[in-house]
Structure 1
Amino acid sequence: MKSRLAEPQPSTRNLFAFLTATVSVLVLVPTDARVAFAQERTAAVGYSIPAGPLPQALNRFADVSGLQLVYDAGATRTLRTAGFNGKGPASSVLATLLSGTGLTWRFTSTDTVTITSPAALSGSLPADGSTVLETITIQGEGINNWNAPPEYAGGQVATGAKLGILGNTSIMDTPFNVTSYTSKTIKDQQAVTVADVVANDPSVRVYTNGLGSSAGVGDSFVVRGFSVGNYSVLIDGFGGIAPDRIIPVETMESVEILKGPNALLNGYTQYGSLGGSINVIPKRATDEPVTSVTTTYASDSQFGTHLDYGRRFGNDKEWGIRANGIFRDGNTSLDGQSARLGVGTVALDYRGDDFRASLDAGQIDQKTDVPTGSAGFGFASGIAIPKVPDLSKQIYQDWEYAGTKSDYVLGKFEYDLNPSWTIYGGAGYRRYDQEALSSDIYVTDTAGNATATAYYSPIQEDAFSAQAGIRGEFDTGSISHKVNLNTSYLFQTMNQESNYYGFYSFSTNIYNAPTISRPSTAGFSSNPPKYWDINAPAITLADTMSFFDDRVLFTAGARYQQIKVDVFDPDGSLSQGYDKSALTPAFGVVVKPIENLSLYANYIEGLQRGPVAWAGTSNAGEIFPPIMTEQMEAGIKYDFGTFTATASVFQITKPGSILTTDSSGASVFSVNGEQRNRGVELNVFGEVTANLRVLGGVAYTQGTLTKTDDGLYNGNSAVGVPRWQGNIGIEWDPQAIEGLTLSGRIIATGSQYVDQANTQKLPGWTRFDIGAQYKTSTFGNPLTLRASVENVTNKNYWAGVSDGWVTMGTPRTFKISATVDF
């Protein structure tokens, strides 16, 4: 879609600003004359712009009228409008929208309107008699490929997302189901990691939480019934370089969730993004200075501080710096458990007229004492799933711990060869050192008796990721094209000592755990040998074609991906490996039969490294070749102006893993059969009224095993795929108390099977969260107070299943914070 917004060139910017300010104070010119001037250039069309925030109303006006709007974003941020419904010339509609705001407007060309405030020109003049003007910025629904997409009405989600090879794309223009949660949502919900943010999405469930679990993958999720690990989270579109275990979202501008396989868009990711992908966008310096201090408290006794600083420099504010520092430490709401988190990030950027560049760097230091197990709980075959233990009660031993140190850096650039073509590129590096002494628990009866297997796990990894490409726009007759040719490369090397797994076992009980002496790790090295190298180069070509004045958008593309894996024995010799390649095509179409309505469909594939045979099987450690998924999806999206609803149906098929027993009675892990997930999703977000916002939806997923070995489990429900999942969050601003916001959220999950034979099942669960926010001031500085309670009823529940291992939910947790902006 061609942008409806234009920015003055640098050589004329001062002149443009001067002319804008001059004409804005010509209040002696009769309004009728200005209207007549506008009516000569616009025809009466229909508008449906609800009452609400003025910026969103102006965005809608620009979209319908096709006009370009130039105005000061800061001057409109807090203003509201009565809206407009009906037909009329653009001039009359705009006059109605601006009524009572104190702003004036004028056509400065046949398709450009300048909006300004006469008050902006008041005040004393400099000694030389010149006029000092406010910075003028361009606002509207146009989305570029560099900045994060703007907020949608209500501010909880963005109007678009960065879709890998497709770049920044409006929600209404993408043939996929995507939601981008904003920094406002992150702050208001006091989110710490990605796991806290995805709790808003009905298609996503958290399997392990990196702050509380010793799982090597840290935060791990299930999207549309398939696993998505923290290692697969992208940073600003780059895979393989995300911090280990957790990503501190307080340093991020947004968290984007794309549902479904996405090989074309994002390429290969190490631990799988077959059900979807998660992309985090780092904070950047804004035009307005940022200096904020946040103090936090979370039960049981965890305190923290977050410093956020941002500035822009230069004649045109072309240079920017954004720095964040976070420290948290103390006991969590689980007895005996404590967690420490230290974060430091810096983001530098340059935004010129033709050249833009950024550099992001960060360090995360995290440690948890008495974490929950890596895999959680396994259950002996044939026993009924026992009652979940008290979530706040200590089950693991005092000597258990898990910690990691991660460093990452990412540099990016893009250069406009001309108005239609841009070259871009970037490279990133990540290093982490992880160490854990922890245990997994295998429950043997309904009384909770179990065997705990301790392991010592030092892991070190280095990763390098790079991209380069060219994108451009051109027309062939009446068809417009947006093409992107991209090359990428991902290298990962991991050091890991597999011999330290299961070095010690002891008896325990999940309801009354005994105290066990710390096992000796004497002789174990914290510098493990090389375990594997992964090389993954790729080349991608995609084209989005526009027909009938952007009413039909058709995207087609393909990625050629190579994955080369070498696995080493402890002595450094090559143990096993493979060198495979795959061509993963994708197709998507968006049809807009009427304004604000989008119908879409897609076919896309997913690709990930093959699974590793589980510990305890006769072929433990065997690495299988890459696996692929296929998705077909169709959906509908309707934007009501300040409120959007989407619905989709999908089918994803994936090769399945299975455990069988050989003639000697040993368990054998293999990739055999297929898992087919079919589902329906409904999502809603935005402002229902001026003081009521809603965020959430419902997901129904039917996971079915097909083509299993000898048809053994054909037709059974897939492991860890609940039929029903629902989330609904509401924010309400009581008009009686200015500055107060009340919130509530319900998260519900249906029952799910633990084993492929469908003999063991976890019951469904529902969790309630509540919160409050109050905005005031202290010593002339804005002050925001926030308080929330997660799992209000202290519900005990089994959270989820992955590969037959079960994890628990989180106990009732109180959170309090205070943010001062200077």
Structure 2
Amino acid sequence: MPTAAHAQARIAEAVSFNIPAQPLRSAINAFTRATGWEVGFTSQAVEGKRSSAIGGMLPPGQALQALLADTGLHAAISGPSTAAIVDPSAQSDADVETNGVVMLDTISVEGEAINNWDAPPPYAGGQVATGAKLGMLGNISVMDAPFNVTSYTAKLIQEQQAVTVADVVANDPSVRVYTNGLASSAGVGDSFFIRGFSVGNYSILLDGYGGIASNRIIPVETMESVEVLKGPNALLNGYTQYGSIGGSINVVPKRATDDPITQFTASYISDSNFGAHIDYGRRFGANKEWGVRVNGVFRDGDTAIDGQSARLGVGTIALDYRGEDLRASLDAGYIDQKTIAPTGSAGFGFASGMPIPPAPDLSKQIYQDWEYAEAKSVYALGKFEYDLNSSWTVYGGAGFNHYNQDILSTDIYVTDVAGNAIATAYYSPIQGDSASAQAGIRGEFETGVIGHKVNLNTSYLFQTMNQQSNYYGFYSFDTNIYDAPTILRPSTAGFSDNPPKYWDINAPAVTIADTMSFFDDRILFTAGARYQQIKVDVFNPDGSISQGYDEQAVTPAFGIVVKPIENISVYANYIEGLQQGPVAWPGTANAGEVFPPMLTEQMEVGIKYDFGTFTVTASVFEITKPNSIITTNAAGESIFSVNGEQRNRGVEFNMFGEVRKGLRLLGGVAYTQGTLTQTDNGLYDGNTAVGVPAWQGNIGIEWDPAFVEGLTLSGRVIATSSQYVDQANTQKLPSWTRFDLGAQYKTQALGNPLVLRAAVENVADTNYWAAVSDGWVTMGTPRTFKLSATMDF
């Protein structure tokens, strides 16, 4: 038994804390994760109460009392790592013995649970959160999730001066950016590879709902977190238009906090792109039950690419209500974005068999001044959940998105190693609407010694798109990627900016899942299945249906987490993915043909270790999916088809958190072996899949030097190995490495907190080919300087 002196030493030993104000129950859970303490409390005592924020190095006992500062509750510390939350006003004299020990009613000890409404609190260091929203399973802590998931916080977004999701996921070794919606004319905007498979911006979820997030880009300055779930996830998130095979991305909007927020940020991005961001939040009511959070962003000016300029205007509002039994929210936003002389939507194609020439100067203008990509989007999402009792909750929500984009741009096909090329112009007006709705019930009960957390969910996603598909290739001209000529703007006279309907998509689903717990939650087993229907109608310009399909699929999932000892989780999963089939590329003889939905499978095992303020994870996975291919028929025509299979096997190592006070690490290494199998007549069997680098590595470091109070220095290395451009494996992009540096200084100005930030991306100004998809290659990021100043009022 520990001596009294030893117990006091344990209680007094300082720990690093970074716990924001939040519902008291989740704050206590964050405290237990940071300290390893056991904290008991009754549900009645903490219901409806909010914690105070705590940060820095504090003894756990003192930190726990600070969390309770404004709650009227008290922490009764009964041992070196145990305490109970009590309400002094509810204690009678008979409850207190003569030795001063508080006698408690029935106590609940909760350590790992995360509520399903608020965003999970930050982990030590503040760059990532302690958990994430896993679709219909709700918020789950990293250590309880049978998947590899990382949630990047608003703190990281602000400190790295991120603008879109592409800037945030650049921190993840399992993710690579294919196109950046702020610089590219890609209709899908931001697009990525997760575990070697393509994920488009259309498939990004907004607070767990598909089809609601703005098209092309999502401004992350208005978001509380960006969550990256690796691997297929049909059970968790259902059908998404262009994703859910390699993984999914969910963005969580900012909401009002207990503390008032009035913040202004002025920013600069080279060459001369200036911006302003206003963030305002307040809570109202006797118990601060009503909240409003407003964000406004405007950027405009030239980018680091010669001749290119980018404009971005954003306005969002988040309203929420949190009562004893009812919680509700409404998020709405408007995004207006335009880029002049954007990089091409498909980047660069290369003549078959030719060596890939060196990447051009990334800061040099290759595209014409008359090229542009413009998009406007408006969205709204309303959600609620209501507690029927302490064990059962009903929930639901609905939202919509309307977008209108207009693109005049070129794709460039390189014909020789000297960089000579043919540019093909296209005009692409696109309009679309989508609506998404969910309803469900979740609850907890026990059958003998087995605990159950069940969720029954029904959802519906509707999408319609109007697109003019016959304006591709209306004009071509010769160019050179190293010395592009200036070409007069081609005439678009007679082209309509009111495109006809292209397709309708209806995707209803019903899902059920049960997470069973054994041996005091040391074993968690999740099993579930989703019934998904996908009905697609593709229209001719006259409104008649040209093609379509109505398919159904049942996608199961199984996951298990075993905690053999404290702070270690061993997990495994089997899960399937489901997405809309591909559309034959422009330029092929069957361009526009829509293929049926594609089903994928993943098997994964992994281990996670939480050191208290620093976590490491390792995983091994295999994902298989049908593969698309372009072949040449007897008439010499290019034909797009779905043929064969792509199998990605990989190993991932991730780390995040605070190694010691003032030193934070974020990143990891991913090894992926992408292999083609079952190809037509075995032609490419065993070849490496297009666009799947064997190695990807990210290491980010932040250091707070003790000799300058308020200063933080940061650095990041992003490295990617070579990748093949064609399925025959005759063309290959070389490996590339990018270095980023940054600094942050916290001070005071006019009596207000002021934070100054500076960063340089691609410090060495390295020219590199970034990624490849279906034979089209995109460029990397030129050296870019970022400056910002943030003041709180």
With structure 2 as the length reference, what TM-score do the two structures score? 0.91
Q: Which residue does the alignment assign to 1:266?
A: 237
Secondary structure of residue in 1 paired with 2:470: helix
Task: Tell me which residue corresponds to 1:656.
Answer: 627
Alignment of 1:494-505 (within 5 A): 494-505=465-476
Partner of 2:85: 113
Give the Å deviation of 1:169.
Answer: 0.2
Q: Which of 609-618 and 239-248 deviates more?
A: 609-618
SS at match of 1:499: coil
Aligned residue for 1:60, secondary structure, equals helix
Q: Which residue does the alignment assign to 1:292?
A: 263
| Contact 2:211/2:461, CA 8 A, preserved across alignment | yes
Aligned partners of 1:727, 1:694: CA distance in 2, in Å? 10
Rounded to whole Å, the distance in 1 between the matches of 2:486 and 2:18 is: 61
Q: Does 1:669 align with 2:636?
A: no
Q: Spell out the pairing of 1:478-557 with structure 2 (5 A cutoff).
A: 478-557=449-528
Q: How does 1:140-539 map to 2 (within 5 A)?
A: 142-539=113-510
CA shift digits 1:652-680 (9 cap, x unpaired): 00000112222222221111100000000
Contact 1:49 1:641 in 2 (8 A): no
Q: Which residue of structure 2 aligns with residue 28 of structure 1?
A: none
SS in structure 2 opposite 1:186? helix
What's the CA shift for 1:443? Answer: 0.2
Q: Structure 1 CA distance, aligned partners of 2:51 and 2:397?
A: 32
Alpha carbons of structure 1 residues 231 and 311: separation in structure 2 relative to 1, 3 Å: same
Q: Secondary structure at the match of 1:630?
A: strand
2:776 is aligned, of 797, 802, 805, to 805
Q: Which amino acid aligns with 2:38?
A: S
Shift in CA distance, 802/46, structure 1 to aligned 2, threshold 3 Å: farther
Contact 2:64 2:75 in 1 (8 A): no
- Match for residue 59 of structure 1? 32
Q: Give the whole-Å Cα distance in 2 for the aligned partners of 1:575 and 1:102.
A: 66
| Cross-structure match for 2:554 | 583
Alpha-carbon displacement from aligned partner over 1:326-383 (angstroms, at most 9, x marks no partner):
0000000000000000000000000001001000000000000000001000000011
Cα pair 1:704 1:718 within 8 Å, conserved = yes
Match of 1:623 in 2: 594
Aligned to 2:653: 682
Q: Displacement of 1:105 after TM fit?
A: 5.8
- Residue 241 of structure 1, CA deviation: 1.3
In the other structure, the counterpart of 1:735 is 706
On the 8 A contact 2:38/2:111 being kept in 1, the answer is no
1:59 is aligned with what amino acid? T
Cα distance change on mapping 1:209 and 1:106 into 2, 3 Å: closer
Match of 1:77 in 2: 54
Q: Is the 8 A contact 1:81 1:97 kept in 2?
A: no
How far 1:112 moved relative to its partner?
2.5
The 8 Å contact of residues 420 and 474 in structure 1, kept in 2 or not, is answered as yes
DSSP-derived class of the 2:681 partner: helix
- Name the SS of the counterpart of 2:473 in structure 1: coil
- Is the Cα–Cα contact under 8 Å of residues 108 and 114 in structure 1 kept in the other structure? no
Q: What one-letter code is carried by the residue in structure 2 that aligns with 1:51?
A: V
Quick check: 1:49–1:57 contact (8 Å CA) kept in 2? no
> Over residues 503-523 of structure 1, what are the superposed CA-to-partner deviations in whole Å (9 max), with x where a residue is unaligned?
111110000001111000000
2:11, 2:59 within 8 Å by CA — same for their partners in 1? Answer: no
1:253-302 Cα distance to aligned partner (Å, 9 max, x none) = 00000000000000000112210000000000000000000000000001
Contact kept in structure 2, 1:425 and 1:466, CA below 8 Å = yes
Residues 204 and 57 of structure 1: is their aligned pair in 2 closer, same or farther, counting only changes over 3 Å?
Answer: closer
Q: 2:94 — aligned with what? A: none
Answer yes or no: is 1:712 the counterpart of 2:683: yes
What residue number does 1:122 align with?
none
Q: Distance in 1 between matches of 2:760 and 2:194?
A: 25
- 2:738 aligned residue (762, 767, 775): 767
Contact 2:65–2:75 (8 Å) recurs in 1? no
Q: Using the alignment, how far apart are the partners of 2:227 and 2:703 within structure 1?
A: 24
Instruction: Give, in whole Å, the separation in 1 of the partners of 2:565 and 2:380.
Output: 44
Q: Does 1:600 align with 2:571?
A: yes
> Are the structure 2 counterparts of residues 674 and 168 from structure 1 closer, same or farther at C-alpha, using a change threshold of 3 Å?
same
Offset at 1:63? Answer: 5.0
* Corresponding residue for residue 754 of structure 2: 783
Task: Provide the secondary structure at the position in 2 that maps to 1:342.
Answer: strand
Instruction: Please report the RMSD computed on the Cα atoms of aligned residues, expressed in angstroms.
Output: 2.6
Change (3 A) 1:805 1:596: same
Separation in 1, partners of 2:786, 2:63: 43
- Partner Cα separation in structure 1 for residue 322 and residue 792 of structure 2: 25
Task: Say which of 628, 633, 636 aligns to 2:607.
Answer: 636
Is 1:613–2:577 an aligned residue pair? Answer: no
- Whole-angstrom CA distance in 2 between matches of 1:305 and 1:299: 15
Aligned residues of 1:346 and 1:360 also touching (Cα < 8 A): yes
Cα distance in 2, alignment partners of residues 115 and 292 from structure 1? 36
Q: CA deviation at 1:81?
A: 2.6
Q: Structure 1 CA distance, aligned partners of 2:18 and 2:222?
A: 28
- Measured against aligned partners, the alpha-carbon deviations of 1:31-87 in whole angstroms (never above 9, x if no partner) come to xxxx99xx9xxx99999987322759843377542434999987652341367xxxx
- Cα separation, 1, equivalents of 2:572 and 2:708: 45
Shift of 1:208: 0.2
Alpha carbons of 1:817 and 1:475: their partners in 2 closer, same or farther (altered >3 Å)? same
1:512 aligns to what SS in structure 2?
A: coil
Report the identity percentage. 74
Between 107-116 and 478-487, report the one with greater CA deviation: 107-116
User: CA contact under 8 A between 1:50 and 1:57: conserved in structure 2?
Assistant: no
2:16/2:55 contact within 8 Å kept? no
The residue aligned with 2:765 is 794
Distance 2:369 2:718 in 1: 32
8 A contact 1:798–1:809 mirrored in 2 = yes
Contact 1:81 1:98 in 2 (8 A): no
Which residue number corresponds to residue 32 of structure 1? none
Q: What number of residue pairs does the alignment pair up?
A: 752
Q: 1:776 & 1:580 partners in 2: Cα distance?
A: 59
Distance 1:97 1:429 in 2: 42
Letter aligned with residue 619 of structure 1: N
- Alpha-carbon distance in 1 for matches of 2:16, 2:452: 36
Q: Find the counterpart in structure 2 of residue 572 from structure 1.
A: 543
